[in-house]
Amino acid sequence: MRTPLFDRRDFLKAAGASFVAALAPAAQARTAEADALFASAYQNRGGGFGVAILTEQGKIVHSVDLPDRGHDITFDPVSRRSVVFARQPGTFAVVFDHTNKAEPVTIPSVAGRHFFGHGVFSPDGKLLYATENDFDNSEGMIGIYDATDAFRRIGEFPTHGVGPHELLLCPDGKTLAIANGGIETHPDFGAAKLNIPTMKPSLVFVDRETGDLVESHELPPALHKLSIRHMDFDRDGTLWFGCQHEGPATERPALVGRARMGERFELVDLPETALIGLRNYVGSVAANPAAGTVAISSPQGNSLVVLDAVTGAVASVRDLTEVCGIAPDSAGFLASTGTGEIVPPEGSAHSDPHYVWDNHMLRIEG
């Protein structure tokens, strides 16, 4: 099930703390930087699916086979375990650590629900929350799992919308931000979108302890086909979100927005050339808090756009074929592509002919 592992921390431990202490400060900083790892789901050339832990150089240090296609990954720094969620309408999530210490644990969906591909842990690592579909009732749900009890499902609460996609834990540690994409699907009919003419996406804030709806934001009626799907928090705690437009390709709605609980919810205009390059589809959103930037990727537009998180101005636009996975890395972003490349902020891309990368990449601090 698992591939052999070269664990950098084991090396450092073996080398002894004195090895690190003996390094000059600049070298120590580089070590800390290099110690970050990244996680992404993949498909291999043989057609199999899995999830990998990677270095910045694109070297796979650990991988776990998956029964079907994965999507996003979340990490619990307390137990140092990750969870990869099946791509919608998948019915599994797999908990794994990055060493060979424990066998992966598979969390099956309960009857009447499937996963949407995203989830988060509570700050203490004791609970896992996942976006799920109550497909017979077309209602978004958050499934709650007890990480201290073999990830037993202990409850759920509604997302107050249809087709929830990404969810994040707010900086307060208490509230969940949930992107209700608004698109109704049912596993009987594959990926067919069942309600495009009447879809109504929303961004909601929900108290994770009570399930109470704290705030709900909707786009104006003229933009009801703008599916809110991916998000990240910037350095100031502002939530940036990215959208996918389900209306005609000739329409050019704004695709990026930002929100702060109790303060604002707004779309952000991009210059026309950057907007057109996104092809009405934002596949992933990631902030780099240290750099004060936010990146949005579009695999349909083959475009990676970096914004200044304060002004919203475009800092850079990069053409990358089928770019989607993005994660902060030093002063920029590490990106992965559907053609198998791992692209560092600077320097050349790394390509492994055996893998193509799924939509999301997670940074894991060493």
Partner 1 sequence: MRFFLSAIAALASFCASPALAANATIEKAIDGFVRPAYADLHTAAAKETGDMQALCAEPSPENLAAVQKNFVALVSAWSQVEIIRFGPVTEENRQDRILFWPDRKSIGLKQVQAALADKDPTASDPARLAGKSVAMQGLGALEFVLFGTGSETLKAPGDPYRCSYGLAIAQNLEEMAKTISEAWQDPSGIARTWANPGPDNALYRTDDEALTELFDVFVHGLEMVRDVRLNGFLGQTPDDDRPKQAIFWRSGATVISLGENLAGMKALFEASGLADLLPSDSGWIADSIGFEFNTAQTMIGHEPVPITEILASDHRGGLPAFRLITSHLSELFGVNLSAALGLSAGFSSLDGD
Decide if residue 153 touches partner 1 (CB under 8 A).
no
The closest of 262, 231, 224, 221 to 245, measured between CA atoms, is: 224
Distance CA 132, CA 85 (A): 11
- Determine the interface stretch with partner 1 among 21-29, 77-85, 120-128, 248-256 (rule: CB under 8 A): 248-256
Decide if residue 339 touches partner 1 (CB under 8 A).
yes
Please report which helix (H) or strand (E) contains residue 108, including its range.
strand 105-108
DSSP string of 117-128, one letter each residue:
EEEEE-TTSSEE
Q: Which residue type, as a one-letter code, is found at position 145?
A: Y
By rule CB under 8 A, what string of x and - marks binding of each residue 173-212 to partner 1? Answer: ----------x--x-xxxxxxx-xx---------------
Decide if residue 79 touches partner 1 (CB under 8 A).
no
| Coil, strand or helix at 252 | coil
Residue 101 CB: number of other CB atoms within 10 A? 8
Decide if residue 40 touches partner 1 (CB under 8 A).
no
- Determine the interface stretch with partner 1 among 7-15, 150-158, 201-209, 317-325 (rule: CB under 8 A): 317-325
Distance CA 230, CA 20 (A): 38
Judged by CB under 8 A, the residue of 88, 91, 159, 238 near partner 1 is 88
Instruction: State the nearest-atom distance from the C-beta of 227 to partner 1, in Å.
Output: 7
Decide if residue 350 touches partner 1 (CB under 8 A).
no
Instruction: State the nearest-atom distance from the C-beta of 131 to partner 1, in Å.
Output: 12
- Determine the interface stretch with partner 1 among 55-63, 93-101, 219-227, 287-295 (rule: CB under 8 A): 219-227
Residue with tokens 């320097």: 347
Please report which helix (H) or strand (E) contains residue 304, including its range.
strand 303-308
Decide if residue 331 touches partner 1 (CB under 8 A).
no
Which residues, 111 to 140, sit near partner 1 by CB under 8 A? 117, 138
Q: Which residue type, as a one-letter code, is found at position 302?
A: N
Write the DSSP symbol of residue 198. G
Residue 17 CB: number of other CB atoms within 10 A? 9
Q: Which residues form the interface with partner 1 (CB under 8 A)?
A: 43, 71, 87-88, 117, 138, 165, 183, 186, 188-194, 196-197, 219-220, 222-223, 227, 229, 244, 246-254, 266-269, 276, 281, 283, 299-300, 321-322, 324-325, 337-339, 356-359
